[in-house]
């Protein structure tokens, strides 16, 4: 029975890692669609999000079955509860990448962002992808130094997000209402993606230490 239990925990961990890889790919491709007004890539991202949703449902059902049938305690219980919460964050990251792709499809044949903010969004999307890629390694190794790197990347995203709002509120901004709304939404989606990555990193910290925050306050 114990071997079955450990096998279930291993499968849950592997599924979380797979989800992290899928949402990293989704954001990378979503930004390509967004920057290049590529509706074909956008549609692929939108369709692929269903797989992330399915994986979350499958993982959560597996975790609930383990809770009900195995009666885990201590660190094993933390793993299962943490996995349920991490799967929700990863699923939301997939949704946010889908939203970026949907904007690209909606505004075709023009690109969504004006030239004044396009480089900022390119950097934000690149940082988001880095965060998701680091989550793969973090989930595999539980190396909390990687968690701190994720927090640092997200801090840069927050700074860029704030800069977008300063640009939109500035005297030189003369874009239309719909385009202003698109820019605001894009920045919010990219910022929230990073926040959910940090949320996963915090939960890994919980799995390793039993605390939601490390003693150093780095997360």
Q: Which residues contact 48 (CB under 8 A, 6 or more apart)?
A: 22, 25, 26
Task: Note the pLDDT of residue 215.
Answer: 39
Q: Where are the alpha helices (DSSP H) in 142-212?
A: 144-169, 177-209
Task: Note the pLDDT of residue 199.
Answer: 95
Task: Note the pLDDT of residue 12.
Answer: 83
Residues 90 and 20: beta-carbon distance below 8 Å: yes
Residues 191 and 124: beta-carbon distance below 8 Å: yes
Task: Note the pLDDT of residue 82.
Answer: 83
Q: Which of 89, 59, 60 lies closest to 154, judged by CA?
A: 89
Task: Note the pLDDT of residue 74.
Answer: 60
Name the stretches of the chain with pLDDT < 70: 1-2, 4-5, 68-76, 212-219
Model confidence pLDDT, tens digit, residues 68-103: 666 656 666 777 788 888 999 999 999 999 999 999
Query: Sign (positive/negative) of CA torsion 99, 121, 160, 180?
Result: negative
Give the predicted TM-score (pTM) of the model. Answer: 0.90
Task: Note the pLDDT of residue 218.
Answer: 41
Cis peptide before 109 (omega within 30 of 0): yes
Model confidence pLDDT, tens digit, residues 206-218: 888 877 654 333 4
The gap between the terminal CA atoms of the chain, to the nearest Å, is 36
């Amino acid at each position: 029975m114990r071997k079955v239990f450990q096998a279930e925990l291993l499968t849950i961990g592997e599924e979380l890692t797979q989800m992290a890889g899928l949402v990293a790919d989704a954001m990378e491709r979503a930004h390509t669609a967004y920057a290049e007004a590529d509706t074909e890539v956008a549609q692929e991202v939108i369709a692929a999000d269903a797989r992330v949703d399915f994986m979350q449902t499958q993982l959560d059902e597996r975790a609930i079955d383990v809770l009900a049938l195995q009666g885990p305690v201590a660190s094993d219980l933390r793993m299962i509860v943490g996995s349920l919460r991490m799967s929700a964050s990863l699923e939301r990251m997939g949704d946010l990448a889908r939203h970026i792709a949907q904007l690209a499809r909606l505004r075709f044949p023009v690109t969504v962002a004006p030239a004044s903010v396009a480089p900022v969004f390119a950097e934000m999307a690149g940082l988001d992808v880095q965060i998701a890629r680091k989550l793969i390694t973090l989930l595999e190794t539980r190396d909390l130094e990687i968690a701190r790197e994720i927090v640092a990347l997200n801090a840069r995203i927050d700074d860029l997000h704030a800069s977008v709002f300063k640009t939109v509120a500035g005297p030189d901004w003369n874009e239309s209402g719909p385009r202003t709304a698109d820019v605001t939404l894009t920045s919010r989606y990219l910022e929230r993606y990073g926040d959910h990555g940090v949320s996963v990193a915090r939960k890994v910290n919980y799995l390793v230490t039993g605390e939601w925050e490390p003693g150093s306050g780095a997360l």
